[in-house]
Amino acid sequence: MIPDATEKKRLYDEARAAVLTMWDGEPDAIARMASAACILAQTMPHYFWTGFYRVVGGELVIGPYQGTPGCLRIKWGRGVCGAAWSTGETQVVADVHAFPGHIACDSRSESEIVVPVKDSQGRVIAVFDVDSTELGAFDEVDRAALEGLFGKWLT
pLDDT band for 152, please (50, 70, 90 cuts).
Answer: low
Q: Cis check for the bond before 116: say yes or no (omega within 30 of 0).
A: no
Q: Which domains does the chain carry?
A: 5-150 (3.30.450.40)
Helix-helix angle 29-43:5-23, to 10 degrees: 150
* Sheet of 91-93, strands arranged across: 73-75, 59-66, 49-56, 124-132, 111-118, 91-93
Instruction: Give Cα 58 to chain centroid, integer Å.
Output: 19
6-54 pLDDT, tens digit per residue, is: 999 999 999 999 999 999 999 999 999 999 999 999 999 999 999 999 9
Average pLDDT over residues 146-152: 85
Q: Quote the pTM value.
A: 0.94
Ramachandran area for residue 17 (φ above 0: left; ψ -120 to 50: alpha; else beta) = alpha
